Structure 1
Amino acid sequence: MTPIQLKTGAPGARILGFGSYRPRRRVTNAELSEVMETNDEWIQSRVGIAERRWASEDETLVEMAVAAGGKALAASGLAPDEVDLVVLATASLQYPIPGIGPQVAHRLGIPRPGAFDLNAGCAGFCYSLEMASNAVRSGSARNVLVVGAERLTDVTDQSDRATAVIFADGAGAVVVGAADEPGIGPVVWGSDGDQHSAIEMVAGNDGKMIMAGQTVYRWATTKLTATLEQAMAAAGVGPDDIDVFAPHQANLRIIESMHKKVGFPERTVVARDIVTTGNTSAASIPLALSALLESGEAKSGDLALVLGYGAGLTFAGQVLRLP
């Protein structure tokens, strides 16, 4: 029997460049207090958000993804024809088909790549990053563009203060390529499907999102610290080695709780992008890391610990070497 031949890829994969796009419109807590029963103190005390970005009509999912993806490509130094795969993480498509991954690839001039959308809720970026890393290391792709893009305002009930004050829009992207040594650590991922109804979209709510906020908060603060520790252990590092902690930007209280429980050294930079950007689901981690790199708070070569978690309930954590 003739054996099937398999490709062999690089010994490791790493992030080659970041890109981001934030919508033009800033929505403050004061503005929201004019249209619903809320105020700045109430919002900041519960989720830590001072303002968020909401997309205008022309800032579609595809447009934002193209903008972020184009910046990531430019930062990587690669030409579009050097990308073989595009993974688009999103949980806010208004229609299931066609997916927008192929559209984004076409707009960026990437010729006929493998392209698909991935929905793992707010963990989508980390799931997609693992797909990209595996593709490069297996030889299925030379380079992979990963984009997290969300227009959560399309699927949020703007009269529901429990969700309208939290969710926002934007896109973040990375290019993943080959490396002699791993720059993306082993993923630690999983799901708690018995709590799938904690975040969902239901027909009876006009397809808008509903969330059991306290349920998600308790789950994140009690169950996911172990995932952070497992991700570090899988990468062969400990809290003292982590330069940047950038979990999903869901709630500032959750971020602070995780930071305290893990016990990072004082020098570790903590991403708090949620304060000015809101919860952008699959886009939140690349947006937060892009902001830290642009500000100089994070530097090339830093080790970053990331953790995505959300609807499903799904979660995924990894250690990354920043480009």
Structure 2
Amino acid sequence: MTIKLREGAPGARLLGLGAYRPRRRVTNDELSQVMETNDEWIRTRVGIAERRWAAEDETLVEMAVAAGGKALAASGLSPDQVDLVVVASASLRAPIPGIGPQVAHRLGVPRPGSFDLNAGCAGFCYAIGVAADAIRTGSARHAIVVGVERLTDVTDLNDRATAVIFADGAGAAVLGPSDEPEIGPVVWGSDGDQYNAIEIAAGSSTMTMAGQAVYRWATTKLTDTLVEAMDAAGVGPQDIDVFAPHQANLRIVESMTKRLGFGERTVVARDIVQAGNTSAASIPLALTALLESGEAKSGDLALVLGFGAGLTFAGQVFRLP
């Protein structure tokens, strides 16, 4: 007897985006009061002016629920129409249980498939790829994907190499079926020979990063991935309305933009300046900010790329909701 498979939708699309930014703004000048740094040093090296740090009550779950709730409201769906919830995060302090089921419950989603995903700063793009494929294969019809981080929990705030960069926040997307594909194939991979370039070593509670090695890898190895993502979706640089790579470092964003030859018609996300590096949350935070400001609009074609610990990377093209 042949095993029967479900029939999914021809394609998947984004139905809504949502974001949550912690209340506390931390400027470069504030950091200069507690460590040997200054505004010019930080802006020159990473392009950050300020970042958000979560308070005690702004937990991973609280931030994920806030962002997911906004995305759900924007989608026009009710919670009982969702059957998959994926939470991407690299900063969970307790490995068991994962927070996916708790986030789903808090959002009022009844008994969905739910799990956490850790692909570092590439987590959101990995999760979008998984959710879109689930919709196309019939394993799910509607999905919520959340990227959420409290990187201040795993950052040595006395280490200026990391303390000036990492921040907190959450961003979410709701996905659903589409007669025409509006999310291109995910192009993902890893360079495990540099697995410990970003790590929390065994027995440690804080993260270390080989900043120069990660910078060289991102600026020399990942442009090809962006080209592959566009090729897989059947589009070229001239078709891209919005470029939103992971907000790791403004110099990396500018390098990628230049190498791809994007002109003035392409809006480039630079949320790193105001939000810092929020890992798996950075891309949905950046996209939401562009839509709210009017710099991007519904129906725009976006190219995204997540990259980070592992070293993992994932890129795709999709239309904004």
TM value normalised by structure 2: 0.99
**1:65 matches 2:64:** yes
Matched, 1:16 2:35: no
| Structure 1 stretches lacking a partner, 5+ long | none
The alpha carbon displacement at 1:210 in A equals 0.1
**1:139-193 CA distances to partner (integer Å, 9 max, x unpaired)?**
0111000000000000000000000000000000000000011111011110000
Name the residue aligned to 1:305. 303
CA distance in 1 between counterparts of 2:54 and 2:205 reads 19
Question: What secondary structure is seen at the aligned counterpart in 2 of 1:226?
Answer: helix
Task: Give the superposed CA RMSD.
Answer: 0.6
In 2, the alpha carbon distance for the partners of 1:140 and 1:231 equals 24
Q: Which residue of 2 aligns with 1:222?
A: 220
1:167 alignment partner, SS class: coil
Aligned to 2:253: 255
Counterpart AA for 2:225: T
2:235 is the alignment partner of 1:237: yes
5+ residue gaps, structure 2, are none
Question: 1:126, 1:308 within 8 Å by CA — same for their partners in 2?
Answer: yes
What corresponds to 1:276 in structure 2? 274
Residues of 2 paired with 1:217 and 1:253: CA distance? Answer: 9
Letter in 2 for 1:212: A
TM-score computed with the length of structure 1 as normaliser: 0.99
Q: Distance in 2 between matches of 1:141 and 1:316?
A: 21
- Give the partner amino acid of 2:235: V
Q: Distance in 2 between matches of 1:203 and 1:55?
A: 25
State the partner residue of 2:93.
94
CA distance in 2, matches of 1:144, 1:123: 18
- Identify the residue that residue 54 of structure 1 maps to in structure 2: 53
- 2:175 corresponds to which residue? 176
Deviation at 1:203, TM superposition (A): 3.6
- Tell me if structure 2 keeps the 8 A contact 1:156–1:163: yes
Q: Residues 239 and 265 of structure 1 are in contact (CA less than 8 Å); yes or no, is this contact kept in structure 2?
A: no
Q: Percent identity?
A: 80
Amino acid at match of 1:320: F
Displacement of 1:197 after TM fit? Answer: 1.0
Question: How many correspondences in the alignment?
Answer: 321
- 1:210 corresponding residue in structure 2: 208
Partner of 2:156: 157
> Post-superposition, which runs of at least 4 consecutive aligned residues in structure 1 deviate over 2 A?
none
Per-residue CA distance 1:8-38 (angstroms, 9 max, x = gap): 1100000000000000000000000000000
Write the deviation string for residues 49-77 of structure 1: whole angstroms up to 9, x where unpaired.
00000000000000000000000000000
